[in-house]
Each structure stands twice: as C-alpha cells, then as structure tokens.
Amino acid sequence: MYGERYEMPAPERLHVKDEDLDYKNIDLLKKCTGGQGQMLSRRRTGLRAQRQRELKKAIKRARHMGLLPFVA
C-alpha cells in the first residue's frame, strides 16, 4: 500500500566454529565471498570483528595459494 515501507529480508548468517575458519576450508570461504569474489561484510556474515579479521586472513591466504580466485 501507499506509504508502507519495504523491509529487506534478513541475510543468512554463517555458523562458523573455531576449527572451521581455515584457508583449507574452501566451501566455507566461498560462502563468505560475493559473486565477484569480494569478501562479504560483517553485517552479511554475522561474525564479530575478531572472527571477521581471521576470515579475511584465511581468504587472502587461499587466494595467494591458488585455492580461491581473486576475481570470479
């Protein structure tokens, strides 16, 4: 109706254990990257700041080792 606000659907949060966040876990890292290979924000992943930094490090390691593409 006129004047009603559209609410965006809530993004799916990641459920990550401590041992899961590693550069060798490619399936998890692919979920944390967007269509163009960009890392998703904390708002989209649902991780706290320290875990997001660990995720960033794992994605960068996987890219340099050739496990993940830089650009999809």
Q: How many residues does the chain have?
A: 72
Residues facing residue 33 across a β-bridge: 39
How many CA atoms lie within 13 Å of 25's alpha carbon, on the beta-carbon side? 15
Please count the other Cβ atoms lying within 10 Å of the Cβ belonging to residue 46.
16
- Break the chain into its structural domains and give their ranges: 17-72
Residue 16: is its pLDDT beyond 80? Answer: no
pLDDT of residue 66: 95
Q: Is residue 53 very low, low, confident or very high in pLDDT (cuts 50, 70, 90)?
A: very high
Instruction: Please tell me the predicted confidence (pLDDT) of residue 9.
Output: 75
Looking up tokens 């944390």, which residue turns up? Answer: 32
Look at residue 2 and tell me whether its pLDDT is greater than 90.
no
What is the distance between the alpha carbons of residues 19 and 38, in angstroms, rounded to a whole number?
23
CATH homologous superfamily for the domain 17-72:
Ribosomal protein S18 (4.10.640.10)
What confidence score (pLDDT) does residue 21 get? Answer: 87
At residue 44, the pLDDT reads 87
